[in-house]
Structure 1
């Protein structure tokens, strides 16, 4: 699969060959769903348990007479109706982590890349080097390229580009090691550098 490569200033920089086994797979919504569900589940924090009556250190001695006091008949300060008492039927500690076969995770990432390529929303840039690492200058360049909600993936984090893009909404930057299905699908445009394509190819080929 041959794709035109360009630079940040919009000029053509030749062509690049994208491997079909990574960028030319058929769409698999079932695989994408499984991987995204796995990602989001593993991002959730652990649910904390609430203290119940048996976990609260308060007196269980009956503190008032059974009758004649003019109030309800209580036998323990651990009761849920008291401040500091144990919670009735409180939440239990649990984790939401899921496991997913590595082959499925790899197939999901390849499928996400292929979907972007098939939709024409995959752009390859020569690099992310900026003459002036300023947000204003980068915003003008991205406006000319038509990138409004884009994910940029480079072989390594380009600190100048990342700093300039930090204040731009819907523009995110990731290294190749951080490429994932959820972020790729969550952006309108996927932008890869030439180095990122080479590193992804090396990553999938072992």
Structure 2
């Protein structure tokens, strides 16, 4: 029960409504459920009720998002049975067509040791190119913004000198990055609002 309490505390600590945070307390909760059928004392039932009511109240206050999971299964069945093409399947996901196009563009040009950086709230292109972010451990723009790690990112970019930097639409302002791109990079490709910049020479 302590495992569940502390994992739940960790999941709710930030107060953000992301349902994947609930994966953390899911395992201890699943182990606690059988215990409910063997509780014999009033105290045990009381503690269990308090925990469940507290979880319900806090979850409601945070307002965790929900996802249309049936749609995902429906799309999967469609593509595996041939009723939907791979391209149609890809286009069911927000930004996927753009990400695949950028990934293909970069893969055709990147050498084995060359790095990339995405100023984006979607890190999928790292997977599509099999690359780690040259800007350090913060892979999406809202982490950099919320934690105020702009200087950290710029330091890593100056050291790593990524071959390509991709700026996606709808991202937070980053004046230092804009100046960096203007000085050392040139625009080479655009796709649905995302802009790919290539490093100019060595510096």
Between 1 and 2, higher relative CO (CA 8 Å, sep ≥ 6) is seen in 1
Same structural fold, with TM-score higher than 0.5 when normalized by the shorter chain: no
Q: Which TM-score applies when normalising by structure 1?
A: 0.24
* Larger strand share, 1 or 2: 1
